[in-house]
Amino acid sequence: MQPSPFPLPRSRDANPDPAFWAGRRVLVTGHTGFKGGWLCLWLERLGARVSGLSLAPEGTPNLFEAAMVGAGLDSHLADIRDADAVRACLAATNPEIVLHMAAQALVRASYRDPLGTYATNVMGTAHVLEAVRATPSVRAVVVVTSDKAYANREWPYGYRETEALGGHDPYSSSKACAELVAGAYRAAFLAERDCRVATARAGNVIGGGDWSEDRLVPDIVRAFARGDSVEIRAPHATRPWQHVLEPLSGYLRLAECLAGADGARYAEAWNFGPADEDCRPVAHIVDELAQAWGADALWHLSDAIHPHEATFLKVDAAKARAYLAWDRRLRLDAALAWTAAWHRAEASGASARDLTLAQIGAYEALGA
């Protein structure tokens, strides 16, 4: 057996290292979004000097405003489709670590606006990496793509990082293109100056503070809060569900490894996903949330015609478990319970910021 190309991980389920992040300049694109808000609050808790680049938060309510995410960072509101604005932001913030999450993140929205989806997810990624190329301070970049970047063959087993990229819909294919853009910038420009670029593939995250339109859990929460029956499009569609903190912990761990002395070894693609038993159909998610919510929470099947979406999708995260000391900490039932508890507490008047930071602390305690 050949030796591993990676050093041994420091420990299983390692938390982000406060000694690494304290005082470090970090730029998060997409900081006004759901995942971006959770990530920025975690980085603030770790002592990082966080800057954000994104459009203004979309919709009301939203986590960025509800949890006062902007209070702990230097916020730059701009469109990643504007190359000059992206370049100016990196020049002003001079980051050491870039976590690129800004995206058009919805499959159905990509059918309505394919050109906007490609402009944001493909050229936006190119603009960020071109700005990194012009910013000597940057040591490591994590480009967040999606588990939907794989050419979906409806396999019953998880896709590994070596599987073919593709995509039936504009969103999925745009994320596959972003993977290719990241690989080209890594090979052609950034590796030679020892700036390490990795991609992270995850999706179907759930958690408190996600009020996005046209996403399963926010749609369920809104309907339950109104006392309505929630309309479900595809109850048998199976996805790799995970709490938002699971992939975020992976992104942070990957950034730490990239910035290390042997970080060039980690400059490649990584999957972050749950165990097989937590890849469940949509109907299971609705039933579990209904039980956690209580009262008379109900759902019904939509009779409308909807655009194509994959039926079965999951990823194999064995590489991240083996070489990043990363693993899921919350079983799906716990992730759903945390999500329901967050929303019920917030709806009852609890601080969204305090709820989010408390769950981050509880998550860290699971890996201590």
pTM over 0.85: yes
Exposure string of 38-73, with b = 16+ CB inside 10 Å and e = fewer, is bbbbbbbbbebbbbbbbeebeeeebbbbbbebbebb
290 within 8 A of 228, measured Cβ to Cβ: no
Q: Which helix (H) or strand (E) holds 76?
A: strand 74-77
Residue 161 lies in a domain: yes
CB 140 within 8 A of CB 97: yes
7 lies in some domain:
no
In a domain, 60, yes or no: yes
Range of the domain at 163: 18-204+242-277+313-330
| pLDDT tens sequence for the chain (368 residues) | 344 566 655 544 579 999 999 999 999 999 999 999 999 999 999 999 999 999 999 889 999 999 999 999 999 999 999 999 999 999 999 999 999 999 999 888 999 999 999 999 999 999 999 999 999 999 999 999 999 999 998 888 899 999 999 999 999 999 999 999 999 999 999 999 999 999 999 988 999 999 987 777 788 778 777 777 777 766 777 778 899 999 999 999 999 999 999 999 999 999 999 888 888 888 888 888 777 776 666 555 665 544 655 567 889 999 999 999 999 999 988 998 899 899 989 989 999 999 999 999 999 999 87
User: How many other CB atoms are found less than 10 A from the CB of residue 366?
Assistant: 12
Report if residue 289 sits inside a domain.
Answer: no
Structural domain contains residue 363: no
How many domains does the chain fold into?
1
Q: Is residue 12 part of a domain?
A: no
Task: For residue 220, give both structure tokens.
Answer: 């369920």
* Residue 111 located in a structural domain: yes
Domain containing residue 71: CATH number: 3.40.50.720
Residue at 317 is within a domain: yes
